[in-house]
Chain A
Amino acid sequence: MRHSIKAALTAALSLSLLSTAGAQSSRQSTLVIGGDFSDLITLDPGVSYEFSGSLVTGNLYDTLVAYEGNNLSTLRPRLASSWTVTPTSTGSRITFKLRDAKFSTGRPVTAADVVYSVNRAINLKTPSSFLYTDVANLKVGSVTATDAKTVVFDIPKTANPNIVLALLTFNIGGVIDSAEAKAHETNGDYGSAWLKDHSAGSGPFVLNRWDKSAQVALDVNPQAFRRSPNIKRVILRYMLESSAQQSAVNSGEIDVAMNYTPDAFKDVAAAKKLKTQKADSFLLAYLGMNSAKGMPFEDARVREAVRYAIDQDGIISGLLQGLGRKTQTIIPIGLAGSDAKIYYPYNPDKAKELLKAAGKGDGFSVDFFVSTGSCAGGVPCADLAAKIQADLAKVGIKANIKQMVNSELLTAYRAQKAPLVQVSWSPDYPDADGNGTPLSDYNAKSLAWRNGWQNADASKLAQSAAIETDAAKRLNLYKQLTALMAKDGPFAILYQPSRPIVIQPNVSGFNQNANGDVQFEKISKK
């Protein structure tokens, strides 16, 4: 027995002392990113809809047009070298001229591939198909190839060509090698079972392998026109826990950590041994106030009182450690149409006055639906809810926190059953309409509807702003809409969070834009 213990101890010791020297050589050219990628479901650009899916497919596939870096208001050419928008008798037409590009398979990117990719996404009825069918109002046949390098999108009057261009930058706009997809088709699935964990794009990287819940490995695509200076491989490691990311980044095991908690991020930023980045997001954390008849927030003055009662600065400096921006209207900072005005400076006395005017001078009690887990910006939802509860208590509103898992909360909210709810929203495409319609138009059966808030003026403004093609007129419509929503709407916007990113000092060029996308080919490592 003693002998075997000794042998085991020796074995354990020698294992711990052996170094992984062989891996050193590839370290220079491999970028390792640690993050919570648990929402990754598929790498098929036509199907993928989640943050992580967008992050990966954006590097595997090219879209016709794209945004570069943090500039999310100027479209840049990507697969399309140029494009023109012309009015037609039925609406408008966008004509794209394709550049000379090759898929990772070596085949040239043709107009037929673009047509296939659009029709495929429409026919597959994926979670993001509605972008083509409902927002762009496209059908199979709306997109045609006039020659090998020219694609035409025919858009009806009911859709705005500028919004179509914006949504083409999303995953669903990724152009797939149609020959490759057809070769792997089973049961008429347009190759989506295969494309779930394989790639057939022209982007700067190709998929090496995806070990679910462990890591995604991407290799450089030698055929690509977008190239990385010295990164040959990118590995996205699943690290759900912020503590795991912290220890891995401190030991040099990963180059980038994407999910620090606000507290830990503040410490790293102060220590200055590692680079830190506060990446913007379009996420809005808000309180939804049910304004239907008979609900506590039916009276607009009560909703205003809540907005005066919330101490936004306290939330941002205390809970978020500065990882968030203050805003009070429905369109996030960074999108054309957002409104920087502070309508409600923190003022509990004013809130009490408004409550009194609404006949609720003695305050009232309301159920407050709160998710378990972490909320926008990495703050525990329970902590945020406690702060809101305390703020509301100061003006006499007693919020009874009801904590539930997010899926349960979402079900109640969708059924218009949440009296007061703490949630967040991010637009599907970087355009004011991504928030304008769902948050203010009752008929869209989205957030305004969930809060039982119906306002004909708001619906009309949101609808006309969506299809207005004149930029100046459109901005004016959004100005009216945001002001109306701030005064009367069913939301109290809490903050717009920033994403905490920690980067090794020898890594440069890492930049996450407000959509959550990172162009891996722009990163280099010393």
Chain B
Amino acid sequence: MLVYIIRRVALMVFVLWGVSLAAFLISHALPADPAAAALGNNAREEQLTAFRERNGLDRPLAVQYGLYMTELVRGDLGSSLRTQNPITADLRQFFPATLELTLGAVVFAVLIGVPLGIVAALTQGRAPDLLARTFALLGGATPVYWLAILALNVFHEKLGWLPGPGRLDAYSLPPPVKTGLVTIDALLVNDREVFVDALRHLILPGLVLGMFSAALLTRMTRSALLEVLSQDYIRTARAKGLTRARVVARHAMRNASLPILTVLGTLFGSLLTGAVLTETIFSWPGIGGYATTSAISLDFPAVMGVTLVAGLAYSVVNLLVDLLYAVFDPRISYS
């Protein structure tokens, strides 16, 4: 097991290096000047030259890459051209917000997708199944931005049930930053009011972002369960006189959970990076917005930083999913 993990981590480093090289080459291939983007329309020639010198943009590409990699090995992602902050500081600030939103989305996706899938499989061909499949189709086909605007308009503006954009009520100050996850930080200082407020703010964007995943999970759960339910051992279990619920929960779901887990793993990775639109519409101060602003302003080091962190998160989640296989299925062992 340990050897397997070490091998996977080594592979991960190699993949991340590839990602960084690709990101570096792509971002530097653009026919635009980051100095002009950072200093704006009114900047003068001397300012631009000074900026390029200060940030090493006047060096040859190979030298820039070499310098970047040397710093990277030391764990330094460099400084943002736009904010002039260390990238690591920026990421530490924006990543927790995205993580919190993503976790919320995953929770909603599981809470909606798995039960719906089970219901659909058990009522195959009948009305509940049809409804669940319609949901799966709609949920998978509805654009996130449209859903986000609709949700805001209905549940926030018209009905007033849920709060609007942002992570907290506009009138309350956020808790002191410890983890960066507002819900956790509120619990740490024992502020129940802010905790509830933060949780309520998570509902709409979490649901919107989780909708696509919920739809996919519904479909995956349904088909995985249907396949398992037709197996011989299920028939045996039923023949032994076990109740239908017990068979599904104890026997069928355990075996159907592997494909669901796989989907969940990849979903988590894509959610983390795919939060851009949800974050923009819900004014969620996460990494999605940071990545967009950085890309528009040709902030290469920031874009590279986001890419690397996204790649890292994706790889780590995938590794965890693979390791969980062994937990769920005793037949799988990594040796």
The finding on whether chains A and B are genuine partners in a shared complex, rather than unrelated, reads yes
- B153 at the binding interface (Cβ < 8 Å): yes
B10 nearest CB across to chain A (Å):
35
Q: Mark B200-219, 1 if CB is under 8 A from A, else 0.
A: 10010000000000000000
- B37 at the binding interface (Cβ < 8 Å): yes
In the complex, the chain B residue whose C-beta lies closest to that of A425 is B41
Which residues of chain A come closer than 8 Å to B115, judged between CB atoms?
1, 5
The answer to whether A248 and B171 have CB atoms under 8 Å apart is: no
**How far, in whole Å, are A388 and B167 apart by their CA atoms in the complex?**
41
The answer to whether A408 and B32 have CB atoms under 8 Å apart is: yes
In the complex, the chain A residue whose C-beta lies closest to that of B200 is A15
Between A42, A215, A407, the greatest number of chain B beta carbons within 10 A of the residue's beta carbon is seen for A407
Residue from A12, A213, A254, A407 within 8 A of B34 (CB atoms):
A407
- B269 at the binding interface (Cβ < 8 Å): no
In the complex, the chain A residue whose C-beta lies closest to that of B82 is A41
In the complex, the chain A residue whose C-beta lies closest to that of B248 is A1
In the complex, the chain B residue whose C-beta lies closest to that of A217 is B173
In the complex, the chain A residue whose C-beta lies closest to that of B277 is A241
- A247 at the binding interface (Cβ < 8 Å): yes
B209 nearest CB across to chain A (Å):
15
- A109 at the binding interface (Cβ < 8 Å): no
Q: Mark B21-57, 1 if CB is under 8 A from A, else 0.
A: 0000000001111101101111111110010000000
A25 nearest CB across to chain B (Å):
9
Question: Contacting chain B: which of A180-188, A232-240, A346-354, A497-505?
Answer: A232-240
Which residues of chain B come closer than 8 Å to A211, judged between CB atoms?
174, 285
Q: Mark B220-252, 1 if CB is under 8 A from A, else 0.
A: 000000000000000000000000010001000
Between A20, A38, A445, the greatest number of chain B beta carbons within 10 A of the residue's beta carbon is seen for A20
The answer to whether A20 and B197 have CB atoms under 8 Å apart is: yes
B123 nearest CB across to chain A (Å):
15
In the complex, the chain A residue whose C-beta lies closest to that of B176 is A209
Which residues of chain A come closer than 8 Å to B93, judged between CB atoms?
212
Which residues of chain A come closer than 8 Å to B84, judged between CB atoms?
41-42
Question: Contacting chain A: which of B65-73, B289-297, B312-320?
Answer: B289-297
The answer to whether A15 and B199 have CB atoms under 8 Å apart is: yes
In the complex, the chain B residue whose C-beta lies closest to that of A251 is B157
- A147 at the binding interface (Cβ < 8 Å): no
Q: Mark A350-380, 1 if CB is under 8 A from B, else 0.
A: 0000000000000000000000010000000
The answer to whether A241 and B30 have CB atoms under 8 Å apart is: no
**How far, in whole Å, are A134 and B47 apart by their CA atoms in the complex?**
12
Residue from A20, A49, A213, A423 within 8 A of B289 (CB atoms):
A213
- B281 at the binding interface (Cβ < 8 Å): yes
Which residues of chain A come closer than 8 Å to B94, judged between CB atoms?
212-213
- Given that A241-B281, A407-B297 are known contacts, is A247 also in contact with B171, CB under 8 Å in the complex? no
The answer to whether B32 and A405 have CB atoms under 8 Å apart is: yes
- A411 at the binding interface (Cβ < 8 Å): yes
Residue from A248, A373, A407, A426 within 8 A of B298 (CB atoms):
A407
Residue from A8, A238, A426 within 8 A of B285 (CB atoms):
A238
Which residues of chain B come closer than 8 Å to A213, judged between CB atoms?
94, 285-286, 289-290
- Given that A125-B50, A130-B47, A405-B32 are known contacts, is A237 also in contact with B170, CB under 8 Å in the complex? yes
- A23 at the binding interface (Cβ < 8 Å): yes
The answer to whether B171 and A240 have CB atoms under 8 Å apart is: no
Which residues of chain A come closer than 8 Å to B160, judged between CB atoms?
251
Residue from A49, A243, A424 within 8 A of B281 (CB atoms):
A243
- B149 at the binding interface (Cβ < 8 Å): yes
- A382 at the binding interface (Cβ < 8 Å): no
**How far, in whole Å, are A453 and B58 apart by their CA atoms in the complex?**
28
Residues 243 to 270 of chain B near chain A (Cβ within 8 Å)? 245, 249
**How far, in whole Å, are A18 and B173 apart by their CA atoms in the complex?**
19
The answer to whether A23 and B169 have CB atoms under 8 Å apart is: yes
- B283 at the binding interface (Cβ < 8 Å): yes
The answer to whether A240 and B289 have CB atoms under 8 Å apart is: yes
Which residues of chain B come closer than 8 Å to A130, judged between CB atoms?
44, 46-47
- A112 at the binding interface (Cβ < 8 Å): no
**How far, in whole Å, are A241 and B282 apart by their CA atoms in the complex?**
8
- B164 at the binding interface (Cβ < 8 Å): yes
Residue from A12, A244, A410 within 8 A of B41 (CB atoms):
A410
- B113 at the binding interface (Cβ < 8 Å): no
Question: Contacting chain B: which of A26-34, A198-206, A482-490?
Answer: A26-34
**How far, in whole Å, are A26 and B171 apart by their CA atoms in the complex?**
7
The answer to whether A411 and B31 have CB atoms under 8 Å apart is: yes
- A250 at the binding interface (Cβ < 8 Å): yes
Tell me how many residues of B have a C-beta within 8 Å of chain A. 66
Interface size on A, as a range, is 35 or more
The answer to whether B111 and A5 have CB atoms under 8 Å apart is: yes
Which residues of chain A come closer than 8 Å to B199, judged between CB atoms?
15
A367 nearest CB across to chain B (Å):
14
- Given that A16-B162, A235-B170, A414-B33 are known contacts, is A240 also in contact with B280, CB under 8 Å in the complex? yes
The answer to whether A20 and B169 have CB atoms under 8 Å apart is: yes
- Given that A235-B170, A423-B41 are known contacts, is A247 also in contact with B165, CB under 8 Å in the complex? yes
Residue from A212, A214, A425, A426 within 8 A of B166 (CB atoms):
A214
Residues 33 to 59 of chain A near chain B (Cβ within 8 Å)? 38, 41-42, 49-50
**How far, in whole Å, are A348 and B297 apart by their CA atoms in the complex?**
38
- A428 at the binding interface (Cβ < 8 Å): yes
In the complex, the chain B residue whose C-beta lies closest to that of A192 is B84
Which residues of chain A come closer than 8 Å to B37, judged between CB atoms?
406-407, 410-411
Residues 64 to 114 of chain B near chain A (Cβ within 8 Å)? 82-84, 90, 93-94, 97, 111
Which residues of chain A come closer than 8 Å to B165, judged between CB atoms?
237, 239, 241, 244, 247-248
In the complex, the chain B residue whose C-beta lies closest to that of A32 is B170
Residues 297 to 313 of chain B near chain A (Cβ within 8 Å)? 297-298
The answer to whether A134 and B44 have CB atoms under 8 Å apart is: yes
Q: Mark B133-158, 1 if CB is under 8 A from A, else 0.
A: 00000000000000001001100110
Which residues of chain B come closer than 8 Å to A457, judged between CB atoms?
none
**How far, in whole Å, are A266 and B156 apart by their CA atoms in the complex?**
22
In the complex, the chain A residue whose C-beta lies closest to that of B207 is A12
Residue from A41, A212, A244 within 8 A of B164 (CB atoms):
A244
- A253 at the binding interface (Cβ < 8 Å): yes
Which residues of chain A come closer than 8 Å to B196, judged between CB atoms?
15, 18, 20
- A345 at the binding interface (Cβ < 8 Å): no
- A294 at the binding interface (Cβ < 8 Å): no
**How far, in whole Å, are A15 and B298 apart by their CA atoms in the complex?**
42
Which residues of chain A come closer than 8 Å to B97, judged between CB atoms?
214
**How far, in whole Å, are A414 and B33 apart by their CA atoms in the complex?**
10
Residue from A22, A243, A254, A411 within 8 A of B36 (CB atoms):
A411
The answer to whether B152 and A244 have CB atoms under 8 Å apart is: yes
B198 nearest CB across to chain A (Å):
11
The answer to whether A407 and B296 have CB atoms under 8 Å apart is: yes
**How far, in whole Å, are A66 and B176 apart by their CA atoms in the complex?**
36
The answer to whether A32 and B171 have CB atoms under 8 Å apart is: yes
B254 nearest CB across to chain A (Å):
13
Top 6 A-B residue pairs of the complex, sorted by shortest distance between their CB atoms: A407-B37, A213-B285, A408-B32, A214-B285, A411-B33, A411-B32
Q: List 18 A-B contacts (CB under 8 A).
A: A1-B249, A15-B196, A41-B82, A211-B174, A212-B83, A214-B174, A237-B166, A239-B165, A239-B283, A241-B165, A241-B283, A244-B164, A247-B152, A405-B296, A410-B33, A412-B31, A425-B41, A446-B44
